[in-house]
Amino acid sequence: MFLKTQTPMKSVYMRVPYNHFNTNYSQMKVIAINGSPNKGGNTFHALQMVGNELIASGIDFEILHIGHKMIHGCTACNKCAANKDEKCVIKTDDLNEWIQQIKQADGIILGSPVHYSGIAGTMKSFLDRLFYVSGANGNFFRHKVGAAVTSVRRTGGSVTFDSLNHYLNYSEMIIATSNYWNVIHGAGAGEVLGDAEGMQIMRVLGKNMAWLLKMKEATTHSIEPPQIEKKEKTNFIR
Ligand SMILES: Cc1cc2nc3c(=O)[nH]c(=O)nc-3n(C[C@H](O)[C@H](O)[C@H](O)COP(=O)(O)O)c2cc1C
């Protein structure tokens, strides 16, 4: 562990003994979105595996199940950008409540089953509106710790994992990783419990995510985060 110390002339790094670590973390929380229509299906199990490691590290963990709801897609009205009230103008679902719930969390996990080699439809509608509202309102997921997981019977896992990561990347989130793509294999509910490698991927992800959260918390007062930049939009034609 190295801490940066400032002097008028130069900055130097010095080694800090282990007992310097601040272990008095404020209670942190991770919210995991289950984008599967199945409440106790494979995506749920994958999220729970990650969550078990977070809980073991003293971090609160909650699964928000949205994959069985009727959730409208983004209509591209851009009212969230005009109104700047952290809300989507579509009122036929509970998205605005979920936005505030997710905003309170220190970490966010996006979980989706693979449907036709992509994010499940309801989850895609949810994510488009959630992240569009965030982006239009000062990017309030910026620097939260994020991760994506997907469950799949056979193929389409990595493309779905990549697609989920787009939301995290765009939002300048700090992405937790594992020792492979965060994909677990199974068809019927619970079959993923037979995928030893997939389960390890989820365990390692949970441990790494807990560590990242604690590192971020421990440096809140010692390392200043970069200022947000105003977004350049060139659209490739101008
Ligand atoms: C509409 C639909 C599309 C699917 N498409 C794929 C696919 O493209 N590739 C695949 O391997 N499995 C596919 N599956 C299977 C699921 O990805 C797999 O059973 C997954 O583990 C389900 O997760 P869940 O229990 O959380 O819903 C599909 C399932 C459904 C219902």
**pLDDT tens sequence across 75-132:** 999 999 999 999 999 999 999 999 999 999 999 999 999 999 999 999 999 999 999 9
Q: Calculate mean pLDDT across residues 150-175.
A: 98
Q: Is 215 in the pocket of ligand 1 (CB under 6 A)?
A: no
Ligand 1 atom nearest the C-alpha of 184 is 21
- Going by CA atoms, what residue is nearest to atom 28 of ligand 1? 115
**Alpha-carbon distance 166 to 163, whole Å?**
5
CA of 37 to the centre of ligand 1 (A): 10
Check if CATH label 3.40.50.360 holds for domain 22-218: yes
Q: How far apart are the first and last CA of the chain?
A: 46
Q: Is 205 in the pocket of ligand 1 (CB under 6 A)?
A: no
Instruction: Please state the separation of Cα 186 from the chain's center in Å.
Output: 22
Q: Calculate mean pLDDT across residues 221-237.
A: 90
CA of 135 to the centre of ligand 1 (A): 30
CA of 99 to the centre of ligand 1 (A): 26
Give me the pLDDT at residue 8, please. Answer: 39
Q: Is 111 in the pocket of ligand 1 (CB under 6 A)?
A: no
Of 4, 23, 27, nearest in space to 107 by CA: 27
pLDDT in tens, 19-69: 444 555 679 999 999 999 999 999 999 999 999 999 999 999 999 999 999
Query: Is the pLDDT confidence value at 15 over 60?
Result: no
pTM, full prediction: 0.91
Residue whose token pair is 């199945």: 38
Q: Is 113 in the pocket of ligand 1 (CB under 6 A)?
A: yes
CA of 111 to the centre of ligand 1 (A): 13
Q: Which two tokens stand for residue 6?
A: 């400032």
Q: Calculate mean pLDDT across residues 12-22.
A: 44
Give me the pLDDT at residue 23, please. Answer: 55
Query: Is the pLDDT confidence value at 4 over 60?
Result: no
Q: Is 29 in the pocket of ligand 1 (CB under 6 A)?
A: no
CA of 151 to the centre of ligand 1 (A): 7
CA of 114 to the centre of ligand 1 (A): 5
CA of 187 to the centre of ligand 1 (A): 7
- When the pLDDT of each residue in the chain is averaged and rounded to a whole number, the result is 91
Ligand 1 pocket mutation pick from 153, 155, 202 by most atoms within 8 angstroms of CB: 153
